[in-house]
A and B are shown apart, each in its own frame.
Chain A
Amino acid sequence: MIEKVPPKNLERTVAVIGNPNTGKSTLFTALTGVHSQIGNYPGVTVEKKLGWFEFEGQSIRLVDLPGTYSLSPRTIDEMVSVDVLLGRQPEVGQIDAVVCIVDASNLERNLYVVSQVLDLGLPTLLVLNMWDVAQERGIQINTEELAKRLGMPVIPCEAHRRKQIDLVRSAIVQASHSPKPNPPDIFPELFHEEGRKLQAEFLQFSNQTLPTYLVERLILDVGGQLEMELTKPNPEQLITRLKEARERLKVAQFRVPNIEAKLRYGWSRQILSGAMSVPEKRPAVVTDTLDRWLTHKFWGLLAFCLAMFIVFQSISWAAQPLMKICESGQKQVGEMIGSLLPFGPLRSLVVDGVIAGVGGILVFLPQICFLFLFIALLEDCGYMARAAFLMDKLMTKVGLSGKSFVPLMSSFACAIPGIMATRTIENRRDRMVTILIAPLMSCSARAPVYWLMVAAFFPSISWAGGWITLHGIMLFVMTFFGAIVAVPIAWLLKKTLFKGETPPFVMELPSYKIPSPRIVLHRVFDRASAFVMRAGTLILATSILIWSVSYFPSDHSEEQKVLENIRLTESMLASELEQKEQLSLEREKIGQTPPLDSKAIAEVDEKIAELDTRLQPLHLLFDTRNKISEQLLANSFLGRFGKAIEPVVKPLGWDWRIGVGVLASFPAREVIVATLGTIYSLGGDVDENSQGLQTALQSATWPDGRPVYSIPVAMSIMVFFALCAQCASTLMVIRRETNHWGWGVFTFAYMTTLAYIGAWIAYVVTGWLLAS
């Protein structure tokens, strides 16, 4: 959490509201800088964003409200903004003034929500953002005249370029000290009268005074959140009275709900007529030209595929090397700290628990940051809305909308940025379903597991001159397997837990703009630090927990002796080790560059063999250590638990060793490779390409001598890992984004069940197919 600026005396609270795509968060960041704090409002998924700044000796607390086209609450989440503005949200308190930020190039529609804000009777100020876009469109706005008509300060601004920010600050300070203005007269007196009547009736029924604003909203919002909330405790009477009021209004030519939009837009046009001039013919702006291509039947789809391809390519191109650096850095830090501590539980805790845990978080950070970067870029330049537009039809087939596409797509690299990117989906049900199915997309941590199984158990057959291989096909199938399973899951979730009317798609296609590096980097930093800070500590705790159950209660004294011996022998054979390392490098080099010099190769091989004889004592010690490690793991709580649950995993074709591997990989699924390494006496530092591990798996047997692993078992393991939720980070992020523990638990439960059933089916079906 970022430090909170200590509030000064008489700090004023000002709310910021506006339509989506008006640059509201950009303005918020420009005003408050780093002094902000992000949390959640209780019981809803709305993000609570507070920021502080000081200007002319006055300290101001800004509340950023979610972007909205209207203040008529239809859901609990939308109710939050109304409650905050009315001072009914205890975590925020009284609001002293409101900043309405509007898109200057689209004033008429933007003034709609402004007119609703004005009804609140709070000092308000209007920020005309995207002034430059309006200029480009040839739109002339007379701000002085506008300010006079609206009765509030109007400030043109380019939040993107940080222009006029101090002017906005000063206007906010002034507004926060202004007296409450009178709301404009948009509705006829008859309507207000009905409101007062209903207010009195409500007081009678429930002994509660409902603010005038809410009573009037109750009348206007047919089937809205207030109607649902308020009519629940006293249904009959209030509903009847409400219906009667609406009926009387209808007779008087005031038909709810249609009348509100009509009157407010009428007001908006009246305010603007004469104060704003729009060119007769819409000038050909860059956005329109670009869109002719980017939403084109053929070129649009091609550009979209290309964009996604570039995103994924650059992740593997730029993030993989960084991940390698993280990995080797983790190893070096582990070795360095390890050499300072004596062998024993503390050293193991630090090296195998803490450093491995931190490393597990950090290793995915480059990739996560890159995805955050791309998502922020797509959001900021305005392409995200186009992606939703292009993909909507496809996504409606599973009951979602186009807005879910990019979050799900990024989940193919990592579910964490994908889940965080769902914030742009304003419909709660759509957002929840997207969050819950995102972990089914095959992330990059699953690849090592697939690769190990495919390389060890599937014959390397190839067709078409080596272009198509069985291994390649298997990896391809596994990569899309989760996504295919996600289709019926999404459908099911939409039919059960998240059923309700199809939310409107109704979306604005905003103007394209060149993304601002500052905004984009700020957003990446914000999200990445939120992930590390909030999820990190819990992930660390989980990995320490797994460490302790795999370390205790066994007696590690023998292991320590061997380890000390290894260290001693290593320092004695230091020069041989170094020579061997150099020779291995040389061997690799000459073995790769054609023409192959077989004589030179044989020479080097001979030297290596000679060194190996001298290093024999060390090899023997390593073997002993690996055997001891295997024993220790087998006798640990984790090992015992694994053996105890063998009957549970047996239907999947697994023995207790695989069970232990799955249990140990709860914090992060790729850990299974290292665990299998330990359990097959190869040490924990094997990777999925290790020949030794592949051979060990191939030769593992049940007590009666039958081999454990076969193609059906490999399939069942792969299917299990494709569908399981073995990733503590994802579960933590789900908790954070849904603002509830329950959804993290739910995700784990449903995915594990799915994985178990899927693995069983895979085992049985593959076995049956191979037998026939």
Chain B
Amino acid sequence: MKLHELKVDQRALIVEVSGDDGIAIRLMEMGLTDGEEIRLIGFAPLGDPIEFLVRGYRLSLRKTEAERVEVTALVDSKL
């Protein structure tokens, strides 16, 4: 599944960031590398951007950017 499809408070492991353009590179530079855990914290009031917790800090991404990230949801986090 894609990163933006997670639910609030759901955790996932990053599989891959697709593409090698500026946005993909920036996402990787911000620490979205494969195998890393990421959690969706919440959505902005207008539904976009989305806030995540990754590598111990809070990152906000637009939906179009989160779409670039393939993840596998972690099972244990159905809160």
Contact = CB atoms under 8 A, between A and B. Distances in A.
A502 B44 CA distance: 20
A585 to B, nearest CB: 52
A109 B26 contact: no
B17 A295 contact: no
Contacts of A72: 25, 29
A506 B58 CA distance: 11
30 contacts: A69-B29, A106-B57, A108-B55, A109-B31, A112-B29, A223-B20, A223-B21, A257-B28, A258-B17, A258-B20, A261-B25, A262-B34, A296-B45, A389-B60, A390-B44, A392-B46, A393-B46, A393-B49, A396-B48, A501-B21, A501-B22, A503-B22, A504-B22, A506-B26, A506-B60, A506-B61, A506-B65, A508-B59, A509-B51, A509-B58
User: Top 10 nearest A-B pairs by Cβ distance?
Assistant: A261-B28, A393-B46, A509-B58, A70-B29, A106-B57, A504-B26, A297-B45, A504-B23, A505-B62, A393-B48
Given A393-B46, A503-B22, 12 more contacts: A69-B26, A69-B30, A74-B22, A262-B33, A265-B55, A278-B56, A390-B46, A394-B46, A396-B62, A506-B65, A508-B60, A509-B58
Contacts, number: 122
A20 to B, nearest CB: 12
Interface string A222-237: 1100000000000000
A30 interface: no
A507 B30 CA distance: 9
Given A393-B48, A507-B60, A222 B20 contact: yes
B27 interface: yes
B65 A504 contact: yes
Interface residues of A, number: 43
A262 B60 CA distance: 21
A241 B20 CA distance: 19
Nearest to A503: B22
Contacts of A394: 46
B28 A258 contact: yes
A272 to B, nearest CB: 11
A265 B61 contact: no
A426 to B, nearest CB: 11
Interface in A491-509: 501-509
A112 B27 CA distance: 13
A717 to B, nearest CB: 37
Contacts of A485: none
Contact of A223 (B22, B30, B34, B57): B22
A394 B45 CA distance: 11
A392 B51 contact: no
Interface in A245-299: 256-258, 260-262, 265, 278, 282, 295-298
A296 B21 CA distance: 32
Given A295-B45, A390-B45, A509 B59 contact: yes
B46 to A, nearest CB: 4
Given A109-B30, A508-B57, A222 B51 contact: no
A338 interface: no
Nearest to B48: A393
A572 to B, nearest CB: 69
A300 interface: yes
A393 B44 CA distance: 9
A587 to B, nearest CB: 54
Nearest to B35: A262
A268 to B, nearest CB: 9
Contacts of A69: 26, 29-30
Interface in A359-402: 389-390, 392-394, 396, 402
B69 to A, nearest CB: 11
Contacts of A507: 49, 59-60
Contacts of A506: 23, 26-27, 30, 59-61, 65
A409 interface: no
A69 to B, nearest CB: 5
Contacts of B26: 69-70, 504, 506
A298 B46 CA distance: 10
A301 interface: yes
A221 B21 CA distance: 9
B11 to A, nearest CB: 12
A262 B51 CA distance: 22
Interface in B47-74: 47-49, 51, 53, 55-62, 64-65
A112 B28 CA distance: 11
B62 A392 contact: yes
Nearest to A258: B28
Interface in A508-543: 508-509
A295 B56 contact: no
Contacts of B30: 69, 109, 506, 508
A641 B51 CA distance: 59
A105 B30 CA distance: 15
